[in-house]
Amino acid sequence: MRYFPIFLDTIDLTCLVVGAGEVAARKVELLLKTSANITVVAPWACDTVQRFAREEKIKLIVRPYTESDLSNRQMVFVATDNSELNAQIHDQARAQKILVNVVDNTPLCQFITPSIVDRSPIIIAMSSGGVAPVLLRYLRQKLESVIPQKVSLLGQFSEKFRETVKKRFKSVTERRYFWEDVLDGDIAENILQGNEQVAEQKFLEKLNTPDASKTVGEVYLVGAGPGDPDLLTFRALRLMQKADVVVYDRLVSPEILELVRRDAEKIYVGKAKSKHTIPQDEINELLAKEALAGNRVVRLKGGDPFIFGRGGEELETLIKHGVSFQVVPGVTAASGAASYAGIPLTHRDHAKSVVFATGHLQDNSINLNWQGLAQPDQTIVFYMGLTGLPIICEQLVKHGLAATTPVAMVQSATTPQQKVVTGTLENIQQKAQAAEIRPPALIIVGSVVSLHEKLNWFGKGNS
């Protein structure tokens, strides 16, 4: 390890930046995140550096560099376009035992500015020793995607109670176990959601009874999106990877289920076409039962849990049992299917409104406000409408839509198995049958469907 990673206290740190072009400005921007005292010296300055000076964030000296500028400095960044001058400043700074960094010249860098993930007070710094900056940016992007933006709140909370915990637990091991449990449970989740008062109450209860077994868990109602794992939210992924129990249905793709914590118990409660594996009431009670046993339960639902996902029914049961819960929205199937099929749900030339409806059959009928659905300049998306497709087409025509109104059926949306079939209200049934469309499939009705062939970016499908 050639470069030893350290974090310098920047309070009262005096820093000199030689050069005032855009490269120097980027270093100044980074330094302005700290408490350092910053002076910039250069014969001219770019607009960004001049703005910092006008805002009195830095001291700007507009003249050529002289060795006297190093007086009383503790750190120097050299960012001029004169390689000879850069080397000269490097030698002078080293002679005076001043930390020096010559930008984009690793051999002349006594220290290297790392790639930073800033969640102050939590700071993650990475370096490749100057040999692989592109790889470093790639790794930083990965970290940015998995570390919650609000993890800083956890850092502030930990700082607030650090001494309290130290007084309660004399052993370093005991303190470590306590904090691990706090940061991996519902206390941390409440902090991340801004519920600091609730978090503090639970924290103090736990601190006062550290050996008591956890009596009540929590349920996270998580929208898994339409199928593509890349459409999961960061928060959904984080909760999936910390769950003790995962309750999922058939609309959750295998690729998404692979992202669940490996040792979590997985309970399938999926429903097949016209066949319910587990009645909804039993699913509701199952969630409450697992949480009351002290588990962190993720209820993983395809699409969004509040759009034809019966999420509201499940939460009502949890409230009845006194179980706390959180809801994580997901990309609803209608939005995912339409986007991946190149069908905008609204468009100034085609649709001024969009309506989501259920096409689920009850007693061989679909009880909907057909007059309200069959409106001009409106897109209709039917969930669970494959079996009821003949009734949907018949009723829409009966209530005023033209038989030539465009219709699309999207099967297995956003996945490699996606299939799109387009037609009209008068022929979509035959086309869907010929294409062997199977659940899960959505029906999109309206003029916007005519844009599919032009805007279809994900796959050509069938039409």
By annotation, the residues acting in catalysis are: 249, 271
Instruction: For residue 23, say whether it is annotated as part of any ligand binding site.
Output: yes
Phi, psi at residue 209, to the nearest 5°?
A: -135, 60
Alpha-carbon distance 395 to 405, whole Å? Answer: 13
Residue 155 annotated as part of some ligand binding site: no
Residue 202 CB-half CA count within 13 A: 22
Give the DSSP letter of residue 4: P
Burial-class residue 261 by CB neighbours within 10 Å (0-12, 13-18, 19+). middle
426 is in an annotated binding site: no
User: What is the residue type of 413?
Assistant: A
C-alpha distances (whole Å) from 391 to each of 362, 376, 399, 425 are: 12, 20, 12, 11
The angle subtended at Cα 426 by Cα 390 and Cα 422, nearest 5°, is: 95
- Residues in Cβ contact with 446 at an 8 Å cutoff, skipping those fewer than 6 apart: 350, 351, 378, 379, 380, 405, 406
Question: Burial level of 50, CB count in 10 A (0-12/13-18/19+)?
Answer: middle
List the alpha helices (DSSP H) in 293-364: 311-320, 333-340
Q: Confirm or deny that 43 is annotated as ligand binding.
A: yes
Annotation-wise, does 22 bind a ligand?
yes
Asked whether residue 184 is marked as a ligand-binding residue, the answer is no
Give the tokens for residue 16.
């000199």
- Residue 259 and residue 238: Cα distance in Å, rounded? 10
Please confirm whether the linkage preceding 114 is cis (ω < 30° from 0).
Answer: no
84 annotated among ligand-binding-site residues: no
Helix (H) or strand (E) holding 441: strand 441-445
CA distance to 128, 219, 237, 255, 262, per residue, from 258 (Å): 31, 20, 11, 5, 8
- The SS3 assignment for 304 reads coil
226 annotated as a binding-site residue: yes
In angstroms, rounded to a whole number, what is the distance separating the alpha carbons of residues 317 and 323? 9
Q: Binding site annotation covers 336?
A: no
| Rounded (10°) CA dihedral 186, 187, 193, 197 | 140
Q: Are 434 and 395 in contact (CB under 8 A)?
A: no
- Is 44 annotated as ligand-binding? yes
Annotated ligand binding at 307? The verdict is yes
The annotated binding site is made up of 22-23, 43-44, 226, 302-304, 307, 332-333, 384, 413
- Residue numbers in the known binding site for S-adenosyl-L-methionine are 226, 302-304, 307, 332-333, 384, 413
- Residue list for the binding site for NAD(+): 22-23, 43-44
